Amino acid sequence: MTARVFVLLGTKKGAFILESDERRTGWSLKGPFCETWPMNHVIADPVSGTIYAGGGNEWFGPAVWKSTDLGTTWTHSSEGLAYQAGEEAIKSVWSLAPRNGRLYAGVQPAGLFSSDDGGASWSHVAGLRAHPTAPNWQPGGAGLILHSIVPHPDDADQIWIGISSAGVFYTADGGQTWAPRNTGTRCDYLPEAERYPEFGQCVHCIVIAPNHPSRLYQQNHCGMYRSDDGGQHWESIESGLPSSFGFPAVTHPRDPSTLFLVPLNGDIAGRYVPDGKAAVYRTRDGGTEWQAMRTGLPQQNAFFGVLRQAMAADRLEPAGIYAGTNTGTLFASADEGETWTDIAHHLPPILSVETLVL
């Protein structure tokens, strides 16, 4: 049976959907959807195929959009997606994560919400903002955003989240209580003696390894890391990479030791690919050795970056990898990063990339 492969894009001007078959050689593009609202994260429930798009509009505020027909029609809701009266209002939805029928949403200013009715209404997972460190969380460049939601694949009570720039937090009781998980990740932007605090790290992206749920990877503002104990300790894996700065991290659909990153030239150097030459870096051994994959990517005058949610893998064999740039180009590889093709360009800045295979 021929698979339908979808790449879901969140952009500064709406959501887009690309479709191909399992060969992944020809692609069609539909969009923009969601009334061209900025869409920070567009995902699909892999079981139902329902598409959710989280974002926020300067006029109309935050909402999660939903399509049950692969983008043809959409609804939207933000019922319950709010803090108490008197608190700073939620500006936008930044991240979405489905887990066994429940949907999680991370928002700005940082907080976590859940929905058990497919995004029609939301409940605040209030334990996170009740953490004693919360009054001292500081916003990163994109604001105080909860951008990474990593549910444990086998235990509904365990979730890791990432907040810029408060760091990684973990719950083992379904969100009632949380603990920082930042040991070993550094803050180069603090005085030397203060570079390993309990919280305050500028985490950019965290992902969980497949078939190895105690293994996490992290792209930080200051380094790339791996943890093999559920985030209790982080070990630098940046040796062999051209910089310690980047935004996305993408795992392989089956191999827990494979990771894809897009290092950029540095936080004070423009934040584009080093020397104007694009490369996706791949490790096959958990971060000891890195290989620069350049074939098909521009090797001169490339001044783009790939944002924290703008790279993804599909679940086919070999895995497809997709990287969307902040200049509106989508690069795709159907061979795990060996070769790349520009499959869409002239789009708005790409904020998120996810996949769906039906």
Contact positions vs another protein (CB under 8 A): 35, 58-61, 63, 76-79, 81-87, 89-90
Rounded to a whole number of angstroms, the minimum distance from the CB of residue 86 to another protein is 7
Distance of CA 82 to the CA centre of its chain: 22
The rounded Cα 241 to chain-centroid distance in angstroms is 20
Q: Which is nearer to another protein, 126 or 190 (CB)?
A: 126
By beta-carbon proximity to another protein, the closer residue of 326 and 333 is 326
Nearer of residues 84 and 300 to another protein, judged by Cβ: 84
Beta bridge partners of 63: 55
Alpha carbon distance, N-terminus to C-terminus of the chain: 10
Cβ 142 to another protein, closest distance in Å?
15
CA distances from 339 to 18, 93, 274, 333 (A): 19, 33, 19, 6
Q: Which one, 59 or 154, has the nearer CB to another protein?
A: 59
Half-sphere exposure of 130 (CA within 13 A, CB side): 10
Q: Are the CB atoms for 259 and 250 separated by under 8 Å?
A: yes
Q: Can you tell me the distance from the alpha carbon of 176 to that of 206, in angstroms, rounded to the nearest whole number? A: 21
Residues 6+ apart with CB under 8 A from 122: 64, 77, 78, 79, 80, 81, 105, 113, 114, 115
- For residue 161, the minimal CB distance to another protein (Å) is 21
The Cα-based distances of 167 to 41, 155, 174 in angstroms read: 20, 22, 19
Nearer residue to another protein within complex by CB, 109 or 184: 109
Amino acid identity, residue 312?
Answer: A
Minimum distance between the CB of residue 35 and another protein, rounded to whole angstroms?
A: 6
Q: Smaller CB distance to another protein: residue 87 or 235?
A: 87
| Least separation in angstroms between CB 304 and another protein | 18
Least distance (Å) between residue 70 CB and another protein: 19
